[in-house]
Amino acid sequence: MKIALAQVRSINKIGFNFGVCEKLIKEASEHKASLICFPECFAFMGTSATETIANSGSLDSELFKSYQDLARKYSINISYGGYHEKSSNDPHKIFNSHILVNNNGEIINVYRKVHLFDLNTEKVKLKESEITEFGKDLLVDDGGLIFSNDLKIGLSICYDLRFPELYILLRKMNNAKILLVPAAFTKHTGELGHWKTLLMARAIENQCYVIASAQVGTHNLKRQSYGHSLVIDPLGKIILDLGSQEETFDLDIQEKEPFEGKLGFVEIDDWISNIKKVREGMPVFDHKRSDLYDVITKKD
């Protein structure tokens, strides 16, 4: 089974971003990949909250239907890792939605980000909660529909990475074996080592493969992303790193051709047996002292 990982630098031009995504989807299909994973904000990276809201849309919008059509056209499953879904509750709000689409162009499941990124440091000031509603469903997986019930995919988005309980529950309650973590991780926190360290930790503690597609480079005057889309095995070993594309950090996106994306592939002979070997060799979930502590979902 082959999985494609897309690293892009989205900007505030819907048509350009769509063209980059189609190019990468076509390439992944030609390489016989079963699934291609895109990062957060794949369809649009705005320069302001107002611009982001104005370019959001429902899952019934013509824009997202066009993205569904790409899955059908190229016969490939797609993880669209963070779409600005217009809220039906408030015209001034959106959801940050991770959407799985099968190779028939059908939406399998939607995860709406539950942890919103509000950062206030000397170098970076971002407040996602100003325009984004909190997701209400903690546990979301693909129901075994992308590959099989023995190889379930668990969904998350970017800042969720800092909350290990979410991933523990994805394994404990859904028996997830692949954790998807699409992101637009900031260059500042990435260079501090947070991105790789946290992804490796989530892989090791849950004994899962982690697939983390990322934005890269300078999107606008306010926003830079770290890059380094990664695939990590259940022992915490990095088996794919798409790098940082450092040259894009200084690129004048108004005057030169924007970065048109990068694709990486992982092809593993037997995902399930690899995970089984790790979990049986060190059965950490059997060793958890649930008589002393436990991670549970909140009861209604």
Q: 2-287: what fold?
A: Nitrilase/N-carbamoyl-D-aminoacid amidohydrolase (3.60.110)
Backbone φ, ψ for residue 238 (5° rounding): -75, 120
Cα–Cα distance, 222 to 12 (Å, whole number): 12
Cα–Cα distance, 273 to 193 (Å, whole number): 31
Q: Taking residues 90-112, what's their average pLDDT? A: 96
Q: What torsion, rounded to 10 degrees, do the Cα atoms 44, 129, 95, 297 define?
A: 140
> CB atoms < 10 A from the CB of 66, how many?
15
Q: What pLDDT, on a 0 to 100 scale, did the predictor assign at position 193?
A: 97
Q: Which residues pair with 38 in a beta bridge?
A: 80
Contact 93, 84 (CB under 8 A): no
> CB atoms < 10 A from the CB of 31, how many?
14
pTM of the model: 0.94
pLDDT tens readout for residues 74-92: 999 999 999 999 998 888 9
Cα–Cα distance, 189 to 252 (Å, whole number): 23
Cα–Cα distance, 81 to 190 (Å, whole number): 18
DSSP 65: H
pLDDT of 247 above 50: no
Q: Taking residues 90-97, what's their average pLDDT? A: 94
Average pLDDT, the chain: 93
Question: Would you put residue 227 in left (φ > 0), alpha (ψ -120 to 50) or beta?
Answer: left
Q: What pLDDT, on a 0 to 100 scale, did the predictor assign at position 297?
A: 87
Quote the percentage of the chain above a pLDDT of 70: 94
Q: What pLDDT, on a 0 to 100 scale, did the predictor assign at position 122?
A: 74
- CA-only gyration radius of the chain, Å: 18
pLDDT-derived band at 258, boundaries 50, 70, 90:
low
pLDDT of 253 above 90: no
Q: What pLDDT, on a 0 to 100 scale, did the predictor assign at position 36?
A: 98
Task: Say how many residues make up the chain.
Answer: 300
Cα–Cα distance, 152 to 160 (Å, whole number): 19
pLDDT-derived band at 127, boundaries 50, 70, 90:
confident
Closest CA to 7 of 228, 256, 253: 228
**Residue 82 token pair:** 């963070």
pLDDT tens readout for residues 18-55: 999 999 999 999 999 999 999 999 999 999 999 999 99
pLDDT of 248 above 60: no
pLDDT tens readout for residues 168-217: 999 999 999 999 999 999 999 999 999 999 999 999 999 999 999 999 99
DSSP 38: E
Question: What contacts 69, CB < 8 A, 6 or more positions away?
Answer: 105
pLDDT tens readout for residues 152-170: 999 999 999 999 999 999 9
Q: Among 141-145, 229-233, 247-251, which is the least confidently predicted range?
A: 247-251
Cα–Cα distance, 239 to 268 (Å, whole number): 10
DSSP, collapsed to helix, strand or coil, labels residue 212 as strand
What strand order describes the sheet that includes 35-38?
107-112, 94-101, 77-86, 35-38, 2-7, 262-267
pLDDT tens readout for residues 279-298: 999 999 999 999 999 998 87
Helical segments of 4-80, H only: 14-30, 49-54, 62-74
List, by residue number, the catalytic residues: 40, 113, 158
Contact 4, 262 (CB under 8 A): no
